[in-house]
Structure 1
Amino acid sequence: MSHYKSSSKDAWVGRKSNKKLYLHEKIEFSCLEESYPLTNNKTIALMGYSSDEGVRRNLGRVGAALGPNAIRKQLGKMTNHLNEETQLKDFGNLECIDQNLEELQQECIHAVESLIGHRTIPILLGGSHDLAYAHYNGILKHLKSNEKLGIINFDAHFDLRENTNGNSSGTPFYQIALEQKAKNQPIKYMALGIRKDSNTKELFDFAESQHIHYLSQKYFNISYLEHVQLRLIQFLEDVDYVYTTIDLDGFSSAYAPGVSAASPMGFSPDIVLESLKLIIESGKFVGLDVVELNPNYDIDEQTAKLAASLVHYVIHKL
């Protein structure tokens, strides 16, 4: 794999307890290019998507290629409440070479396919949101033809832009929608936190034409928790599995200043955590990624800490 760089201990630092009280003491290191044993124990696989080429193409501010290691740095300091049998493994990073985003996405598809084939739960760290196209298709390779894979995207943007000028961080769900249409199957996609000031009328029209479910940022908050839960339950009932993706630029910049496209008008962590709880407890959760962290614009590593806290919540809830 030409875009692959194996895992390193350098990003995993923190207090030392010699009792695995912290995640940097719990983490193990594996390599995609080497054989690793199948296990019946729960195994959570972390892998970085160290690229912001998709952001550059989408005219965003670059820097998200540094995101995966920034998340690792904060995650390693956090406390470990996983049981002894649960394995937490770092499989390193996929990196974009010579701006060849399309080749990177294909390698990411194969990497996700391999991780799931080894009975791990993939959690990918971004990196730009073009990761979603690869993550989705890597999961899809393990599903039967009659099984439906849903997408739940926490985001200010639909990411349904056309890819006529190449793939980007704004095109992943458009690509998936077209590929599903070619198979005479609808895309099963729900976007939470959509903002009218961040999506053109054409994008709303395309979303409607594809029967995409979405909830605007106005209603995606804790005051409307019951409504959010009802919409999620309705969506989950119509799919067999769900792939979850969190774009950090959906959060208000009060919580996430270090992203590719910051705005003060986004959502807050509490409604995201409540939503993740429901998704995981449905038993249909099969993978997660957290994307668009841009350490170049972060303040006191606040956004990296938010991303790490989201991953920490999910791995302990699984």
Structure 2
Amino acid sequence: MNFNFLSPVSDAVLAHSELLSPQTLGKKIKIHSKQHGVPELEGVQIAIIGVLENRSDVNYMGEEFHLDEIRKSLYSLFPGNWHKTVADLGDINKGESVEDTYFALKTTITILVQKKIIPVIIGGSQDLTYANYRAYDDLAPMVNIVNVDCKFDLGDSEKPIKNDSFVGKIILDQPYNLFNYATVGYQTYFNSQEEIDLMDKLYFESYRLGQVSQDITIVEPVMRDANIVSIDLNSVKASELSSRQRISPNGLDGKEICAISRYAGISNKVSSLGIYEYKPSKDDSSTSMLVAQIIWYFIEGVNFRVKDDDFSNESNYQKFITLVEEQELVFYKSIKTQRWWIEIPFLSEINNKLKRHTLLPCMHKDYLDACDNKVPERWYKALQKNCV
């Protein structure tokens, strides 16, 4: 198998790992080292990959960076009561060009996802999400992306790709595989009115920081529907981070970003996670430990995945039908997990993207709203996207 793009985990990290307690993650995971090469992937369910690429950062000044501190923090944590095997495959170095790095990342993700291994990408600039998305060209007909970010990153797709404009490229570049794009934790003052209007026009979902902080559970249904989750560390407030990482006094706190990561892990659909915009500094320990804990919570979530979305057997779910504005809405509730779904009807007269009834993850509150004659917003947007 071709993993030529990957360079091993540094000797400094391995030496640090030697001194850790035998119960720590560093002693439990398979590690790509100079001495032993890339580990066997038999039985591995989660693979960590670093990507040392930041040239498309709008503020790029030629600086190099490494991920040693994140690895040291992660390896020093104790695993939960887990039954999943984790591997650290080392780093993808900068290619000759940014496109070369994209190609290496895209190829690596495609191989891993085909093997039912979830890649966890720790990266430089967030435009790497574009390469992550392109890895699905041969894997899935339609892709849902969730971006945990203070900005939408739509940008001007006519210009070269940057870390604040990669979503525009994802929307407009062929092949068109994007079905839904959702932003979690956006802050209005960081986004132009044009971008906010465009999100509405395309029926994409956006959850403001205030909404997420008020009720973190609103993130769960949107994660349950995601294939790719991309986390921008700039969505985290300054007080939680090291000096070079601080962007805004407002943002998600450490607990919230870890809860969001756990929701991503629990989702049966999420098959890749990226954590981006990491900038090491001399007082690095708080950021590297936060990234390590985000990864820890994701692995924890994956360990608690429950298959409850098979609705072929009626004894697995309860079905509820309500009438809203003369529209029949059909809800399903899993008996096993108490999670809710709503049916998106198939409109045969419209050349739509769905060829059958599709179930959209939702919350109990959406059902209660429907009972009060209110149309659930997620359902409305999904229906409109099918008609476009």
User: What is the TM-score with the length of structure 1 in the denominator?
Assistant: 0.81
Opposite residue 75 of structure 2, the aligned amino acid is G
Which of 81, 84, 94 is 1:96 aligned to? 94
In the alignment, is residue 155 of structure 1 matched against residue 149 of structure 2?
A: yes
Partner of 1:141: 138
Note if contact 2:233-2:275 (Cα within 8 Å) is conserved in structure 1.
yes
Note if contact 2:47-2:87 (Cα within 8 Å) is conserved in structure 1.
yes
In the alignment, is residue 291 of structure 1 matched against residue 276 of structure 2?
A: yes
Residues 258 and 72 of structure 1: CA distance in aligned 2, closer, same or farther (over 3 Å):
farther
Note if contact 1:186-1:210 (Cα within 8 Å) is conserved in structure 2.
no
Partner of 2:301: 317
Which of 170, 173, 195 is 1:176 aligned to? 170
In the alignment, is residue 255 of structure 1 matched against residue 253 of structure 2?
A: no
Which of 189, 206, 218 is 2:181 aligned to? 189
Q: Could you give the per-residue CA deviations for residues 34-68 of structure 1, whole angstroms, max 9, x where no partner exists?
A: 887553x342101001111121xx136775x5253
CA distance in 2: counterparts of 1:149 and 1:308, whole angstroms: 27
1:94 deviation in Å? 1.4
Residues 17 and 36 of structure 1: CA distance in aligned 2, closer, same or farther (over 3 Å):
closer
Partner of 1:59: 59
Which of 201, 209, 212 is 1:209 aligned to? 201
Note if contact 1:129-1:247 (Cα within 8 Å) is conserved in structure 2.
yes
1:258 deviation in Å? 4.8
Opposite residue 133 of structure 1, the aligned amino acid is Y
Note if contact 2:184-2:219 (Cα within 8 Å) is conserved in structure 1.
no
**Radius of gyration: which is bigger?**
2
Please state whether the residue corresponding to 1:295 is helix, strand or coil: coil
User: What is the TM-score with the length of structure 2 in the denominator?
Assistant: 0.68
Note if contact 1:102-1:167 (Cα within 8 Å) is conserved in structure 2.
no
Partner of 1:167: 161
Structure 2: runs of 5+ lacking an equivalent: 303-388
Partner of 1:305: 289
Note if contact 1:153-1:191 (Cα within 8 Å) is conserved in structure 2.
yes
Structure 1: runs of 5+ lacking an equivalent: none
Partner of 2:335: none
Partner of 2:75: 76
Residues 229 and 198 of structure 1: CA distance in aligned 2, closer, same or farther (over 3 Å):
same
Note if contact 1:50-1:67 (Cα within 8 Å) is conserved in structure 2.
yes
1:302 deviation in Å? 0.8
Partner of 2:49: 47
Note if contact 2:235-2:252 (Cα within 8 Å) is conserved in structure 1.
yes
Moved more, 265-274 or 169-178: 265-274
Opposite residue 291 of structure 2, the aligned amino acid is A
CA distance in 1: counterparts of 2:179 and 2:168, whole angstroms: 9
Residues 96 and 35 of structure 1: CA distance in aligned 2, closer, same or farther (over 3 Å):
closer
1:122 deviation in Å? 0.5
Opposite residue 74 of structure 1, the aligned amino acid is S
Instruction: Note the 1:102-113 alignment, pairs <5 A.
Output: 102-113=99-110
Note if contact 1:15-1:22 (Cα within 8 Å) is conserved in structure 2.
no
Q: CA RMSD for the aligned pairs?
A: 2.8
Please state whether the residue corresponding to 1:218 is helix, strand or coil: helix
CA distance in 2: counterparts of 1:97 and 1:267, whole angstroms: 33
Residues 164 and 67 of structure 1: CA distance in aligned 2, closer, same or farther (over 3 Å):
farther
Please state whether the residue corresponding to 1:169 is helix, strand or coil: coil
Partner of 1:128: 125
State, as a whole percentage, how many aligned pairs show the same letter: 19
Q: Could you give the per-residue CA deviations for residues 192-246 of structure 1, whole angstroms, max 9, x where no partner exists?
A: 111122122222232223222111122221xx21xx534642x457x4x521111
Please state whether the residue corresponding to 2:164 is helix, strand or coil: coil
Partner of 2:84: 86
Opposite residue 91 of structure 1, the aligned amino acid is L
Please state whether the residue corresponding to 1:285 is helix, strand or coil: coil
CA distance in 1: counterparts of 2:7 and 2:72, whole angstroms: 17
1:271 deviation in Å? 2.6
Count of residue correspondences? 296
CA distance in 2: counterparts of 1:107 and 1:75, whole angstroms: 24
